[in-house]
Structure formats: structure tokens, C-alpha cells
Structure 1
Amino acid sequence: MYTIKFNFEQKGLTPVILENVAPGQSLLEVALDNNIELHHNCGMVCACSTCHLYMEKGDEFVPEITDKEEDFIDRARNPRINSRLGCQCFLGECEKGFIEVTLPDQSMIHGD
């Protein structure tokens, strides 16, 4: 099970901490299931960059970045060394894990 902290670059939003998050789902799915806005134009198939996020802690709990994901991150707004796509960050099996991500300002993204 995971504890996941979502930070936001968008002004006026306070961090959200989710506890007891089950493995097997993506960070995008976790966000959407908890009413956290994270755009996803391509329908979660790694064909755009709208679910771009910054992985602050816990990258060891998700699969390594693929060449395809890296190509789309290059198209994202303000990519950084810790950029990932939420649709590609599936939570691995783990007894107790902590992940912290920061979501770019969603008001600056055109999408879902």
C-alpha cells in the first residue's frame, strides 16, 4: 500500500495526501479517482504529454521511463529531469511505499 502526496504548482491549491492507495494503478488513475485534476488527452496510452508531472520522491516504486515516454515528455511544458507521465507510472507491488509528485499548473494545459 502507498501513501501519495500530490503537490500543486497552481496557486490556491494545497497539497493532498492519500493513504492506503493500492498498487496496480497509475498515478493518473489515482489522481482522477480522488478528484485531482490531471489532464489526459490521449486516454492514458502514452500518446501525448498532458498528464505530465514531476516525480519528487518514490521513483523506485514505478517502472523506469521508456524511450516512448521520454519522447513525449520532451513535448511537455517545462520538462525537468524528474518529469514523468502519470499514465505510465504504475504502482508496483509494495508493502509500504511513499510517493510525492508535483502537478504542473493545469490551468495552463489545454485538454480533458
Structure 2
Amino acid sequence: MAVIRILPHPEYCPEGAEIQAPAGTSICEALLDNDIKIEHACDMSCACTTCHVIVRQGGNSLNEPDESEEDMLDRAWGLEPQSRLSCQAIVAQQDLVVEIPKYSINHAKENH
């Protein structure tokens, strides 16, 4: 089990959080399983950037991004070298520190 520390985000996680995730789980799945309602407009199919996160620590332990993820990331708001689509970033055994960017490109949020 890896520990994922989520930095405070005004909407999804105002106080920040620390959760556990089994190896083989995507960061997005781990967040959703722990009631952190990160956007994932494409239902985790690597077809949007709404689940974009910045992996501040532990990113070396994640799977390498494939070409389709890299292509989608080019469209993400606030892209940084440590950016990943959380639906594609698979947790290993190493602990992570993750930041959810303040904005996403999703112009029409559902259920809001």
C-alpha cells in the first residue's frame, strides 16, 4: 500500500488528505474511492484532461505515460513537467504527494 498525500484544494479537498492506495490502482481511482470527487469527464478513458494532477513527490515510481496520455496532457491547464492524468498514473509501492490544479478545462461540470 502506498500513501498518497493530497495537497489542499479549495473544492475537492480543502484540508488536504492522506489516503492509502493498493499498487496497481490509478491515482484517480484512489481519490474517488476515498471520497475526493476529482473530475473525470471521460470516465477514465484518457480522452480529456479533467483529472489532471501534478505529482510533487514520488512520480518516479509511477508507470511511464504513454503517447496518448502525453498528447492529452498538452491540452491541460497549468501543465508542469510532473503533470499526469490521474486516470492513467498507476500507483506502485512508493508514497506520493499530489496536487490537484485549481482549474481544469471542463467547461460544463455535471451534477453542479
Q: Shorter-chain TM-score category?
A: 0.7 to 0.9
Normalized per residue, which structure has more strand?
1
Residue identity (%): 32
Aligned residues: 108
Deviation (angstroms), 1:107 = 7.8
Q: In 1, Cα distance between the equivalents of 2:14 and 2:106?
A: 16
The answer (yes or no) to whether the contact 1:4–1:98 under 8 Å persists in 2 is yes
Question: Unaligned 5+ residue runs, structure 1?
Answer: none
Question: Unaligned 5+ residue runs, structure 2?
Answer: none
RMSD of Structure 2 on Structure 1 (CA): 2.1
What amino acid maps onto 1:103 in structure 2? I
TM-score normalised by length of structure 1: 0.85
Which has the higher mean CA deviation after the structures are superposed, 9-18 or 26-35?
9-18
Deviation (angstroms), 1:10 = 2.7
What amino acid maps onto 1:101 in structure 2? V
Q: 1:105 aligns with which of 95, 102, 105?
A: 102
2:5 equivalent to 1:8 = no
Q: In 1, Cα distance between the equivalents of 2:49 and 2:41?
A: 8
* Change beyond 3 A, Cα 1:14–1:107: farther
Runs of 4+ in 1 over 2 A off after TM superposition: 8-12, 105-112
2:18 equivalent to 1:17 = yes
What amino acid maps onto 1:4 in structure 2? I
What amino acid maps onto 1:72 in structure 2? M
TM-score normalised by length of structure 2: 0.85
SS of residue paired to 1:63: coil
Normalized per residue, which structure has more helix?
1
